[in-house]
Amino acid sequence: MAEEKILTLLIVDDEAGMRAGVRRSLRHFSMEIEDTAEVIKLNVAEAASGEEAIALMEKASPDIVLLDNKMGGITGLEVLQWINEKDLDLMAIMITAYASIETAITATKEGAYDFLPKPFTPAELKVSVRQAAAHLVALRQSRELEREKKRVRFQFISVLAHELKAPLAAIEGYLYLLRDGTGLDDPAVYDRVVARSLLRLSGMRKLIYDLLDLTRLESGQKRRELTDVDVLDCARNSMETMEPDADRRGITISLESSVEEVVITADSGEIEIIFNNLISNAVKYNRDNGSVIVKIENERKLVRISVSDTGIGMSGEEMEKLFGEFVRIKNSKTRNILGSGLGLSIMKKIASLYNGNVTVDSTPDVGSTFTVTLGKKI
Protein backbone atom coordinates (compact mmCIF):
# COMPACT_ATOMS: atom_id res chain seq x y z
CA MET A 1 0.00 0.00 0.00
CA ALA A 2 1.15 3.50 -0.78
CA GLU A 3 2.39 5.52 2.14
CA GLU A 4 0.59 8.80 2.77
CA LYS A 5 2.64 11.90 3.29
CA ILE A 6 1.13 15.19 4.33
CA LEU A 7 2.75 18.43 3.23
CA THR A 8 1.78 21.74 4.77
CA LEU A 9 0.81 24.55 2.39
CA LEU A 10 0.57 28.08 3.73
CA ILE A 11 -1.52 30.58 1.74
CA VAL A 12 -0.53 34.15 2.52
CA ASP A 13 -3.05 36.70 1.15
CA ASP A 14 -4.88 39.66 2.66
CA GLU A 15 -8.10 38.81 0.80
CA ALA A 16 -10.19 36.33 2.78
CA GLY A 17 -12.01 35.27 -0.40
CA MET A 18 -8.73 34.37 -2.06
CA ARG A 19 -7.63 32.23 0.91
CA ALA A 20 -10.98 30.46 1.00
CA GLY A 21 -10.78 29.84 -2.74
CA VAL A 22 -7.34 28.28 -2.51
CA ARG A 23 -8.40 26.14 0.42
CA ARG A 24 -11.46 24.94 -1.54
CA SER A 25 -9.46 24.18 -4.69
CA LEU A 26 -6.88 22.11 -2.81
CA ARG A 27 -9.29 20.30 -0.49
CA HIS A 28 -9.09 16.99 -2.34
CA PHE A 29 -5.54 17.43 -3.58
CA SER A 30 -3.70 14.14 -3.88
CA MET A 31 -0.72 13.09 -5.98
CA GLU A 32 1.41 10.00 -6.22
CA ILE A 33 5.19 10.01 -6.36
CA GLU A 34 6.08 7.10 -8.60
CA ASP A 35 9.62 6.47 -7.34
CA THR A 36 8.64 5.94 -3.75
CA ALA A 37 4.94 5.05 -4.18
CA GLU A 38 4.13 7.85 -1.74
CA VAL A 39 0.81 9.66 -1.89
CA ILE A 40 1.09 13.35 -1.15
CA LYS A 41 -1.81 15.13 0.56
CA LEU A 42 -1.99 18.74 1.65
CA ASN A 43 -2.73 20.39 4.92
CA VAL A 44 -3.65 24.03 4.19
CA ALA A 45 -2.88 26.84 6.64
CA GLU A 46 -3.70 30.53 6.19
CA ALA A 47 -2.10 33.86 6.99
CA ALA A 48 -3.84 37.21 6.34
CA SER A 49 -0.64 39.25 6.24
CA GLY A 50 3.09 38.99 5.79
CA GLU A 51 3.59 39.58 9.51
CA GLU A 52 1.23 36.75 10.40
CA ALA A 53 2.95 34.47 7.87
CA ILE A 54 6.35 35.11 9.45
CA ALA A 55 4.96 34.50 12.93
CA LEU A 56 3.54 31.16 11.75
CA MET A 57 6.71 30.13 9.91
CA GLU A 58 8.83 30.91 12.94
CA LYS A 59 6.95 28.22 14.80
CA ALA A 60 7.02 25.60 12.07
CA SER A 61 8.23 25.78 8.49
CA PRO A 62 5.57 24.84 5.93
CA ASP A 63 6.53 22.83 2.83
CA ILE A 64 4.92 25.09 0.24
CA VAL A 65 4.05 28.79 0.52
CA LEU A 66 1.60 30.58 -1.77
CA LEU A 67 2.63 34.19 -1.39
CA ASP A 68 0.64 37.22 -2.53
CA ASN A 69 2.96 40.10 -3.30
CA LYS A 70 0.75 43.12 -2.75
CA MET A 71 -0.43 43.16 0.85
CA GLY A 72 -0.87 45.87 3.43
CA GLY A 73 2.17 45.86 5.69
CA ILE A 74 5.20 43.92 4.51
CA THR A 75 5.04 42.63 0.94
CA GLY A 76 5.26 39.09 -0.37
CA LEU A 77 8.76 39.81 -1.66
CA GLU A 78 9.87 40.82 1.81
CA VAL A 79 8.45 37.60 3.23
CA LEU A 80 10.36 35.74 0.53
CA GLN A 81 13.56 37.51 1.58
CA TRP A 82 12.90 36.55 5.18
CA ILE A 83 12.44 32.89 4.11
CA ASN A 84 15.79 33.04 2.34
CA GLU A 85 17.57 34.50 5.31
CA LYS A 86 16.17 31.75 7.51
CA ASP A 87 17.12 29.21 4.84
CA LEU A 88 13.79 27.43 5.19
CA ASP A 89 13.37 24.16 3.33
CA LEU A 90 10.27 25.02 1.30
CA MET A 91 8.93 25.90 -2.15
CA ALA A 92 7.54 29.42 -2.59
CA ILE A 93 4.99 30.26 -5.27
CA MET A 94 4.44 34.00 -5.81
CA ILE A 95 0.97 35.30 -6.57
CA THR A 96 1.19 38.51 -8.54
CA ALA A 97 -1.73 40.74 -9.42
CA TYR A 98 -0.05 42.09 -12.51
CA ALA A 99 2.51 39.72 -13.86
CA SER A 100 5.17 42.37 -14.07
CA ILE A 101 8.58 41.42 -15.34
CA GLU A 102 10.37 43.29 -12.56
CA THR A 103 8.51 41.44 -9.82
CA ALA A 104 9.23 38.17 -11.62
CA ILE A 105 12.95 38.86 -11.85
CA THR A 106 13.26 39.99 -8.26
CA ALA A 107 11.25 37.05 -6.98
CA THR A 108 13.37 34.61 -9.01
CA LYS A 109 16.49 36.12 -7.51
CA GLU A 110 14.99 35.60 -4.10
CA GLY A 111 14.38 31.95 -4.89
CA ALA A 112 10.67 31.75 -5.76
CA TYR A 113 9.91 28.43 -7.42
CA ASP A 114 6.93 29.53 -9.56
CA PHE A 115 4.49 32.36 -10.31
CA LEU A 116 0.74 32.45 -10.45
CA PRO A 117 -0.59 35.55 -12.18
CA LYS A 118 -3.94 36.67 -10.79
CA PRO A 119 -6.58 35.73 -11.68
CA PHE A 120 -5.86 31.99 -11.87
CA THR A 121 -8.15 29.00 -12.19
CA PRO A 122 -8.26 26.13 -9.67
CA ALA A 123 -6.69 23.94 -12.37
CA GLU A 124 -3.76 26.33 -12.82
CA LEU A 125 -3.30 26.45 -9.07
CA LYS A 126 -3.25 22.67 -8.80
CA VAL A 127 -0.71 22.29 -11.62
CA SER A 128 1.62 24.76 -9.95
CA VAL A 129 1.27 23.18 -6.50
CA ARG A 130 1.73 19.72 -7.98
CA GLN A 131 5.02 20.73 -9.63
CA ALA A 132 6.26 22.41 -6.47
CA ALA A 133 5.45 19.34 -4.37
CA ALA A 134 7.14 16.97 -6.82
CA HIS A 135 10.20 19.19 -6.95
CA LEU A 136 10.37 19.43 -3.16
CA VAL A 137 10.10 15.67 -2.66
CA ALA A 138 12.78 14.98 -5.28
CA LEU A 139 15.07 17.58 -3.74
CA ARG A 140 14.71 16.12 -0.27
CA GLN A 141 15.31 12.62 -1.58
CA SER A 142 18.53 13.54 -3.32
CA ARG A 143 19.70 15.39 -0.23
CA GLU A 144 19.01 12.29 1.87
CA LEU A 145 20.93 10.16 -0.62
CA GLU A 146 23.86 12.53 -0.48
CA ARG A 147 23.87 12.35 3.32
CA GLU A 148 23.81 8.56 3.20
CA LYS A 149 26.72 8.53 0.75
CA LYS A 150 28.71 10.80 3.03
CA ARG A 151 27.92 8.60 6.01
CA VAL A 152 29.07 5.42 4.25
CA ARG A 153 32.23 7.15 3.08
CA PHE A 154 32.97 8.40 6.56
CA GLN A 155 32.45 4.95 8.03
CA PHE A 156 34.69 3.37 5.40
CA ILE A 157 37.48 5.84 6.09
CA SER A 158 37.15 5.46 9.87
CA VAL A 159 37.51 1.69 9.66
CA LEU A 160 40.32 2.00 7.13
CA ALA A 161 42.18 4.40 9.41
CA HIS A 162 41.83 1.96 12.27
CA GLU A 163 43.06 -0.96 10.16
CA LEU A 164 46.14 1.04 9.19
CA LYS A 165 46.74 2.38 12.69
CA ALA A 166 46.83 -1.05 14.32
CA PRO A 167 49.92 -2.36 12.47
CA LEU A 168 51.60 1.05 12.78
CA ALA A 169 51.18 0.97 16.56
CA ALA A 170 52.58 -2.58 16.68
CA ILE A 171 55.63 -1.71 14.56
CA GLU A 172 56.17 1.50 16.51
CA GLY A 173 56.16 -0.54 19.72
CA TYR A 174 58.81 -2.87 18.35
CA LEU A 175 60.96 0.05 17.22
CA TYR A 176 60.84 1.50 20.74
CA LEU A 177 62.01 -1.88 22.03
CA LEU A 178 64.92 -1.80 19.58
CA ARG A 179 65.77 1.80 20.45
CA ASP A 180 65.86 1.08 24.17
CA GLY A 181 67.70 -2.19 23.61
CA THR A 182 65.16 -3.83 25.89
CA GLY A 183 65.66 -7.57 26.18
CA LEU A 184 67.64 -7.75 22.97
CA ASP A 185 70.51 -9.67 24.50
CA ASP A 186 68.17 -12.63 24.06
CA PRO A 187 68.43 -13.56 20.35
CA ALA A 188 64.98 -15.17 20.42
CA VAL A 189 63.45 -11.85 21.48
CA TYR A 190 65.35 -9.99 18.78
CA ASP A 191 64.20 -12.44 16.10
CA ARG A 192 60.62 -12.17 17.24
CA VAL A 193 60.68 -8.37 17.24
CA VAL A 194 61.98 -8.30 13.67
CA ALA A 195 59.74 -11.11 12.38
CA ARG A 196 56.55 -9.60 13.85
CA SER A 197 57.43 -6.13 12.51
CA LEU A 198 57.90 -7.54 9.03
CA LEU A 199 54.66 -9.52 9.28
CA ARG A 200 52.65 -6.47 10.33
CA LEU A 201 54.25 -4.46 7.52
CA SER A 202 53.31 -7.05 4.93
CA GLY A 203 49.76 -7.11 6.29
CA MET A 204 49.63 -3.35 5.89
CA ARG A 205 50.92 -3.57 2.33
CA LYS A 206 48.31 -6.23 1.55
CA LEU A 207 45.60 -3.93 2.88
CA ILE A 208 46.80 -1.09 0.68
CA TYR A 209 46.90 -3.35 -2.39
CA ASP A 210 43.43 -4.71 -1.61
CA LEU A 211 42.18 -1.18 -1.20
CA LEU A 212 43.61 -0.18 -4.58
CA ASP A 213 42.06 -3.26 -6.21
CA LEU A 214 38.71 -2.42 -4.69
CA THR A 215 38.90 1.25 -5.67
CA ARG A 216 39.85 0.42 -9.24
CA LEU A 217 37.03 -2.10 -9.52
CA GLU A 218 34.50 0.31 -8.05
CA SER A 219 35.51 3.28 -10.17
CA GLY A 220 35.66 1.17 -13.32
CA GLN A 221 39.06 2.77 -13.97
CA LYS A 222 40.92 -0.48 -14.18
CA ARG A 223 41.54 -1.43 -17.79
CA ARG A 224 40.19 -4.91 -18.23
CA GLU A 225 42.02 -7.14 -20.65
CA LEU A 226 39.57 -9.76 -21.75
CA THR A 227 41.12 -12.85 -23.27
CA ASP A 228 40.51 -16.58 -23.28
CA VAL A 229 41.43 -17.70 -19.80
CA ASP A 230 41.67 -21.29 -18.58
CA VAL A 231 40.16 -21.26 -15.12
CA LEU A 232 41.91 -24.52 -14.21
CA ASP A 233 45.26 -22.99 -15.12
CA CYS A 234 44.56 -20.02 -12.85
CA ALA A 235 43.61 -22.40 -10.06
CA ARG A 236 46.87 -24.32 -10.41
CA ASN A 237 48.96 -21.11 -10.42
CA SER A 238 47.29 -19.86 -7.29
CA MET A 239 47.64 -23.24 -5.55
CA GLU A 240 51.36 -23.11 -6.28
CA THR A 241 51.62 -19.62 -4.81
CA MET A 242 49.89 -20.67 -1.61
CA GLU A 243 51.77 -23.94 -1.24
CA PRO A 244 54.62 -22.69 0.99
CA ASP A 245 52.18 -21.26 3.55
CA ALA A 246 50.11 -24.45 3.44
CA ASP A 247 53.16 -26.73 3.73
CA ARG A 248 54.40 -24.94 6.80
CA ARG A 249 51.23 -26.00 8.58
CA GLY A 250 50.89 -29.42 7.00
CA ILE A 251 47.84 -28.42 4.97
CA THR A 252 47.25 -30.14 1.63
CA ILE A 253 45.62 -28.37 -1.33
CA SER A 254 44.01 -30.48 -4.06
CA LEU A 255 42.15 -29.75 -7.27
CA GLU A 256 38.98 -31.49 -8.36
CA SER A 257 37.60 -31.10 -11.84
CA SER A 258 35.85 -33.38 -14.28
CA VAL A 259 37.40 -31.67 -17.30
CA GLU A 260 40.95 -30.82 -18.40
CA GLU A 261 40.31 -27.16 -19.13
CA VAL A 262 37.57 -24.59 -18.67
CA VAL A 263 38.06 -21.60 -20.94
CA ILE A 264 36.11 -18.41 -20.36
CA THR A 265 36.42 -14.84 -21.62
CA ALA A 266 37.91 -13.00 -18.69
CA ASP A 267 40.57 -10.72 -17.31
CA SER A 268 43.17 -13.15 -16.01
CA GLY A 269 44.19 -10.74 -13.22
CA GLU A 270 40.65 -10.79 -11.86
CA ILE A 271 40.41 -14.57 -11.90
CA GLU A 272 43.78 -14.73 -10.17
CA ILE A 273 42.54 -12.39 -7.41
CA ILE A 274 39.54 -14.65 -6.86
CA PHE A 275 41.63 -17.83 -6.52
CA ASN A 276 44.26 -16.14 -4.36
CA ASN A 277 41.59 -14.87 -1.98
CA LEU A 278 39.69 -18.14 -1.82
CA ILE A 279 42.72 -20.36 -1.34
CA SER A 280 44.64 -18.10 1.03
CA ASN A 281 41.56 -17.81 3.25
CA ALA A 282 41.06 -21.56 3.16
CA VAL A 283 44.66 -21.97 4.36
CA LYS A 284 44.57 -19.14 6.91
CA TYR A 285 41.37 -20.26 8.58
CA ASN A 286 42.26 -23.97 8.46
CA ARG A 287 43.54 -26.14 11.27
CA ASP A 288 47.08 -27.53 11.15
CA ASN A 289 47.30 -30.67 8.97
CA GLY A 290 43.92 -29.87 7.44
CA SER A 291 43.02 -29.89 3.79
CA VAL A 292 41.78 -27.53 1.10
CA ILE A 293 39.78 -28.75 -1.88
CA VAL A 294 39.47 -26.54 -4.93
CA LYS A 295 36.60 -27.72 -7.08
CA ILE A 296 35.79 -26.43 -10.57
CA GLU A 297 32.45 -27.29 -12.16
CA ASN A 298 31.89 -26.47 -15.78
CA GLU A 299 28.23 -25.76 -16.43
CA ARG A 300 26.54 -24.67 -19.62
CA LYS A 301 26.41 -20.96 -18.89
CA LEU A 302 28.72 -20.59 -15.94
CA VAL A 303 31.76 -21.86 -14.10
CA ARG A 304 31.34 -22.74 -10.45
CA ILE A 305 34.45 -22.47 -8.30
CA SER A 306 34.20 -23.78 -4.77
CA VAL A 307 36.95 -23.92 -2.20
CA SER A 308 36.38 -25.99 0.94
CA ASP A 309 38.51 -26.07 4.07
CA THR A 310 38.58 -28.16 7.21
CA GLY A 311 39.03 -25.13 9.45
CA ILE A 312 37.36 -23.21 12.21
CA GLY A 313 34.11 -22.53 10.33
CA MET A 314 31.51 -19.92 11.22
CA SER A 315 28.16 -19.67 12.94
CA GLY A 316 25.08 -18.58 10.99
CA GLU A 317 25.25 -15.20 12.63
CA GLU A 318 28.89 -14.76 11.64
CA MET A 319 28.11 -15.76 8.04
CA GLU A 320 25.51 -13.00 7.84
CA LYS A 321 28.01 -10.41 9.07
CA LEU A 322 30.78 -11.59 6.79
CA PHE A 323 29.87 -9.82 3.57
CA GLY A 324 30.33 -6.23 4.79
CA GLU A 325 33.44 -4.22 3.98
CA PHE A 326 36.26 -4.57 6.54
CA VAL A 327 34.25 -7.17 8.41
CA ARG A 328 36.51 -9.61 10.12
CA ILE A 329 34.98 -12.18 12.40
CA LYS A 330 36.43 -11.48 15.83
CA ASN A 331 36.54 -14.45 18.19
CA SER A 332 39.04 -16.50 20.14
CA LYS A 333 39.74 -18.66 17.09
CA THR A 334 40.51 -15.80 14.71
CA ARG A 335 42.41 -13.38 16.89
CA ASN A 336 45.85 -14.43 15.67
CA ILE A 337 44.91 -14.40 12.00
CA LEU A 338 45.71 -11.25 10.06
CA GLY A 339 43.63 -10.00 7.16
CA SER A 340 42.46 -6.82 5.48
CA GLY A 341 38.76 -7.55 5.68
CA LEU A 342 38.42 -6.52 2.05
CA GLY A 343 38.91 -9.87 0.31
CA LEU A 344 35.26 -10.80 0.12
CA SER A 345 34.20 -7.34 -1.03
CA ILE A 346 36.73 -7.57 -3.84
CA MET A 347 35.57 -11.07 -4.84
CA LYS A 348 31.96 -9.93 -4.83
CA LYS A 349 32.76 -6.96 -7.06
CA ILE A 350 34.67 -9.15 -9.51
CA ALA A 351 32.00 -11.86 -9.55
CA SER A 352 29.39 -9.22 -10.36
CA LEU A 353 31.43 -8.21 -13.41
CA TYR A 354 30.85 -11.78 -14.65
CA ASN A 355 27.18 -11.80 -13.67
CA GLY A 356 28.08 -14.17 -10.90
CA ASN A 357 28.05 -14.14 -7.12
CA VAL A 358 29.78 -15.34 -3.98
CA THR A 359 28.12 -17.60 -1.42
CA VAL A 360 29.26 -19.35 1.71
CA ASP A 361 28.31 -22.46 3.59
CA SER A 362 29.92 -23.22 6.90
CA THR A 363 29.78 -25.28 10.07
CA PRO A 364 31.70 -24.20 13.18
CA ASP A 365 34.80 -26.35 13.81
CA VAL A 366 34.11 -28.42 10.67
CA GLY A 367 34.94 -26.01 7.87
CA SER A 368 33.69 -23.53 5.30
CA THR A 369 32.99 -23.70 1.59
CA PHE A 370 33.07 -20.50 -0.44
CA THR A 371 31.53 -20.70 -3.89
CA VAL A 372 32.05 -18.19 -6.69
CA THR A 373 30.08 -18.42 -9.91
CA LEU A 374 31.28 -16.71 -13.07
CA GLY A 375 29.17 -16.32 -16.20
CA LYS A 376 30.94 -17.42 -19.37
CA LYS A 377 29.48 -14.64 -21.53
CA ILE A 378 30.03 -11.10 -20.33
Among 30, 158, 352, 363, binds another protein (CB under 8 A): 158
Q: Is 177 in the site for another protein (CB under 8 A)?
A: yes
Q: Of the two residues 74 and 164, which places its CB atom closer to another protein in the complex? A: 164
Site string for another protein, 303-332 (x = CB under 8 A): ---------------------------xxx
Q: Decide if 214 contacts 273 (C-beta within 8 A).
A: no
* Distant-in-sequence, close-in-space partners of 44: CB < 8 Å, separation ≥ 6: 8, 9, 10, 11, 22, 23, 26, 27
User: Which residue, 79 or 193, is less far from another protein as judged by CB?
Assistant: 193
Select the residue interacting with another protein from 24, 147, 151, 162 (CB under 8 A).
162
Q: How far is the CB of 149 from another protein (least distance, A)?
A: 21
Q: What is the CB-side half-sphere exposure of residue 267 using CA atoms within 13 A? A: 14
Closest approach, Cβ 170 to another protein, in A, equals 4
Residues in the chain: 378
Nearer to another protein, 166 or 360 (CB): 166
Q: Choose between 293 and 338: whose C-beta lies nearer to another protein.
A: 338
> Of 183 and 324, which has the nearer Cβ to another protein?
183
- Residue 48, CB-side half-sphere exposure with 13 Å CA sphere: 4
Instruction: Tell me which of 173, 212, 248, 359 binds another protein, using CB under 8 A.
Output: 173
- Partnered with residue 98 across adjacent β-strands are none
d(CA 191, CA 166): 21
Q: Judged by CB under 8 A, which stretch of 98-106, 186-194, 316-324, 343-351 contacts another protein?
A: 186-194
Helix (H) or strand (E) holding 304: strand 302-309
What character string, x for contact with another protein (CB under 8 A) and - otherwise, covers 329-368?
Answer: -xxx--xx--------------------------------
List, as one string, the DSSP characters of 67-105: EES--SSS-HHHHHHHHHHHT---EEEEEESS--HHHHH
Could you tell me the smallest distance in angstroms from the CB atom of residue 183 to another protein? 4
From edge to edge, which strands make up the β-sheet containing 291-298? 252-257, 291-298, 302-309, 367-375, 358-363
Query: Residue 271 Cβ, how far from another protein at the closest point, in Å?
Result: 34
User: CA nearest 267: which of 228, 216, 217?
Assistant: 228
165 binds another protein (CB under 8 A): yes
- Which residue, 135 or 206, has its beta carbon nearer to another protein? 206
Instruction: Read off the DSSP letter of residue 63.
Output: S
Q: Which of residues 187-216 bind another protein (CB under 8 A)?
A: 189, 192-193, 196, 200
Residue 70 or residue 287: which is nearer to another protein going by CB? 287
Instruction: Report if residue 255 touches another protein, rule: CB under 8 A.
Output: no
Nearer to another protein, 212 or 337 (CB): 337
Q: 256 has which bridge partners?
A: 295
Query: Binding of another protein at residue 164 (CB under 8 A)?
Result: no
Nearby residues of 167 by Cβ (< 8 Å), 6 or more positions away: 200, 201, 203, 204
CA separation for the pair 359, 157 (Å, rounded): 26
Name which of 176 and 209 has its Cβ closer to another protein.
176
Name the strand (E) or helix (H) holding 273: helix 268-284
Query: CB-based contacts of 76: which residues, under 8 Å, 6+ apart?
Result: 12, 50, 67, 68, 69, 70, 94, 95
Rule CB under 8 A: choose which of 122, 176, 205, 218 binds another protein.
Answer: 176
Does the footprint of another protein cover residue 249 (CB under 8 A)? no
Distance in angstroms (rounded) separating the CA atoms of residues 349 and 166: 26
Query: Nearer Cβ to another protein, position 16 or 169?
Result: 169
Query: Which chain residues interact with another protein by CB under 8 A?
Result: 158, 162, 165-166, 168-170, 172-174, 176-177, 182-183, 189, 192-193, 196, 200, 330-332, 335-336
